[in-house]
Amino acid sequence: MSEILGNGLGTFIGITLILAGGAAFLTGQALARGWRPQWQAFVYGALLGCADRFIIFALFEGELLSLTGYLVDTAVIIAIVLLGKRITLAHNMVAQYPWLYEPDGLFGWREKRAED
């Protein structure tokens, strides 16, 4: 596993999932609150992936230039950014337009049905 990640599994869970994942979720929320386009999630996710690799290198002696480690970390981070964006966007649509939309699960919304 450490050959693929460029570090240990504990470091991946602690730094990538918890630390960078928290930052990624907040980034997704900021993108949704600002009504930013979807492609920006990939740009910010790639930048957070670079920061994640550097923290792993600087604090835990992981490989800085591990391509597979960067790709795996960045893919996870981008997924969390998109998750945070979608959850916040669904909440915003229902909160800002309550006369038009109602919640449809955690990730969606639907048009309100006409009341008889």
pLDDT per position as a tens digit, 81-109: 999 999 999 999 999 999 999 998 889 89
Quote the percentage of the chain above a pLDDT of 90.
69
Q: Is residue 101 part of a domain?
A: no
Q: Is residue 112 part of a domain?
A: no
Q: Is 115 exposed, middle or buried (0-12, 13-18, 19+ CB in 10 A)?
A: exposed
Q: Which domain holds residue 23?
A: 2-88
- Number of folded domains in the chain? 1
Mean per-residue pLDDT, 71-83: 96
Q: Is residue 84 part of a domain?
A: yes
Mean per-residue pLDDT, 45-74: 93
Q: Identify the H or E element spanning 49.
A: helix 39-60
Q: Is residue 95 part of a domain?
A: no
Residue 116 has pLDDT above 60, yes or no: no
Q: Is residue 100 part of a domain?
A: no
Pairing label, strands 109-111, 101-103 = antiparallel
Range in 4-8, 70-74, 76-80, 112-116 the model is least confident about: 112-116
**40 φ, ψ to 5°?**
-70, -25
